Amino acid sequence: MSVSFRAVIVVAISFASLAGVLGAIGGRMVDVDQQHPRSDRRALHTEPVYDPLEEDTEFWHNLAQKSLHDQKARRKDDRRAKNVVFFIGDGMSLTTVVATRMYLGNENMSLSFEQFPYFGLTKTYCVNRQVADSACTASAYLSGVKVNYGTLNVAASVRRSTCEYDHEATEFKGLLQWAQESGKATGLVTNTRITHATPAGAYASSANRDWEDDSEVNTGCPTTPEENKPVDIATQLVHGSVGKNLKVILGCGRRHLLPKETKDEDGVSGTRSDGVNLIDAWKEVHADMGEARYVYDRETLLEAAKSKKVDYLLGLFGSSHCLYNLEIDDQDLEDRKPKLTDMVDAALSMLEDSEKGYVLFVEGGLIDTAHHSNRPRLSLEETNEFHKAIDLARKRTSEDDTLIVVSSDHSHTLMYNGYPTRGNDILGIGDVSDMDGLPYTTLSYANGDGFYQTYVDGNPSQRIDITNYDLKDYRQRYLATVPLSSETHGGEDVGVYASGPSAHLFGGSTEQNVIPLLIAYAANIGEEFGWVTNTSPTDNNGNGDASMITASHMLATCLVAFGTFVRQLYRHIQRNEPGAHFWIAYAANTGEEFGWMTNTVPTEDNGR
């Protein structure tokens, strides 16, 4: 006996809504008028700025109809991907994404990756911490295993800073190694140190993310016999099985590859204590593998990328992390220091002719470092650059054979708060407090060094008047509630966005460690998982793995998809988003004025 799909949706939504109402009633501890004051207490009487068409109901109906049309046009795409570009915006919380929209000028706009057809959420915790760092998350989204805070690609049985452990039993392969074993070319791009936690997750295993060179290993393991000491991360980049086979490596952090006695191109000394110059070692390793070139500025990078004679490319553009975009502009270094878009463009040029395809991993890492110092303008500008790099990658590649996945490793404590009018400067004053009569910013942080720009002499009972703060200055720290030397990460879920072959796999809510397996499946790599076929990715049209899809898999997929659909509808209702109620009306075959109603019996139409 069939059950009306529309009826099921309506019942499910009703239960979800009822649960939300009951939860609110059961948990009410204060007068709701105090939660949402009836009177307008705003002290800043600014006129909102918006498109006058938004006052017309047809504007919102048309917007919702377009959204519905786009949703209906989406089709499951079972093709396998020849190429993959995987972007991580380090610390790019959903709040950061929303604030960047406003930074670029409009609440209604979408960043490049927000226009991708599929979106989901991932859970970012470590095995032993509720709020994650970039090392344990990198292990999850690059290797498929959740580990301890501060560790890279070693099982959670290994505690942080363990100097001696069974490497063979506790270390594991990851996405780039699966790609290399399948004959695909691989590349790595970051605007942080190339040995920093996120990029290191692509090629290294370490019980401590801080062991970037041998001097740090010696400090962490002073009594460990030399032959048993862990291999530092920089050495793994040059001599490790994954690192040495990367066709392109672009980022910063020269200091960890150079000895203390050697200065880099900017006159900064290295930090290695073993006397080894790993940049020279990289050249030697690749001497017999093809044409290898090391570059150190934007000019030499672009020259190498244009050359079709370069087989392996190493580019390091700073001693520690790369400069922020705004610093590059402020210091007129555009001709010397490449930005993230430059590096992504160069990496694609290096990889695009690979016969069996490629996997490129890209980190926009300075989003995170700016948040740690409570400097939102820097972070939003870095998110803007990240969005540009993704747009470039999508335009340079084909959706027919290239899967692009965008996510974040963790969030931050950035808050978008108050009730600012439309058009208000996202980096400016949000309003004036009705308690102390002092202004506050629309953006602020839960903790961090900005505390000392918030309260007089660190006294939480007396706020500083920020009226004369130069909030346009990218060096300005913003308000923070709890004093910390460095702002922390946040523990909430982060987004994942996908476009291209098999992109539909990335919808819904999932654990972060699922991401690399989804990518591996989509790219037909990761032979140990049993899903690799001999079918050409561009020819299989979704049929190459038909034997794998059992009835139980189909049932599970349907249940998950249905659950996701209901959750998404409920979330849209809660947010009161235009379009949510249109989807419900369409699914329930109601709303005659919109022209989609049919006379078909719901249980027989097979299409709705």
Query: Is residue 196 marked as binding?
Result: yes
Query: Is residue 36 marked as binding?
Result: no
Dist CA 442 CA 458 (whole Å)? 21
What is the Cα 130 distance to its own chain's centre? 18
The one catalytic residue among 93, 112, 134, 215? 134
Query: Is residue 56 marked as binding?
Result: no
Query: Is residue 371 marked as binding?
Result: no
Query: Is residue 61 marked as binding?
Result: no
Residues 6+ apart with CB under 8 A from 9: 565, 566, 569, 584, 587, 588
Distances (CA, A) of 378 to 384, 423, 444, 566: 10, 20, 14, 37
Phi/psi class of residue 150: alpha, beta or left (left: φ > 0; alpha: ψ in -120 to 50)?
Answer: left
Query: Is residue 198 marked as binding?
Result: yes
Q: How many C-beta atoms surround the C-beta of residue 360 within 10 A?
A: 29
DSSP code per residue over 260-273:
TT-B-TTS-B--BS
Residues 6+ apart with CB under 8 A from 525: 178, 179, 181, 182, 184, 359, 532
Max intra-chain CA distance, the chain: 82
Query: Is residue 372 marked as binding?
Result: yes
Q: Which helix (H) or strand (E) holds 89?
A: strand 83-89
Does the active-site annotation cover 485?
A: no
Query: Is residue 553 marked as binding?
Result: no
- Cβ pair 270, 257 in contact under 8 A: yes
DSSP-derived pairing of the beta strands 118-123 and 494-499: antiparallel
Q: Which residue from 384, 391, 300 is spatially nearest to 346, judged by alpha carbons?
A: 300
Q: Running DSSP on this structure, what letter comes out for residue 311? A: S
Q: Which helix (H) or strand (E) holds 347?
A: helix 340-351
Distances (CA, A) of 352 to 248, 359, 460, 540, 584: 12, 10, 55, 21, 43
β-bridge mates for residue 6, sequence order = none
- Cβ pair 160, 220 in contact under 8 A: no
- Cβ pair 497, 407 in contact under 8 A: yes
Query: Is residue 297 marked as binding?
Result: no
Residue set of the binding site for Zn(2+): 90, 368, 372, 409-410, 489
Active site residues: 134
Question: Which parts are annotated binding residues for Mg(2+)?
Answer: 90, 196, 198, 363
Which residues sit in the known binding site?
90, 196, 198, 363, 368, 372, 409-410, 489
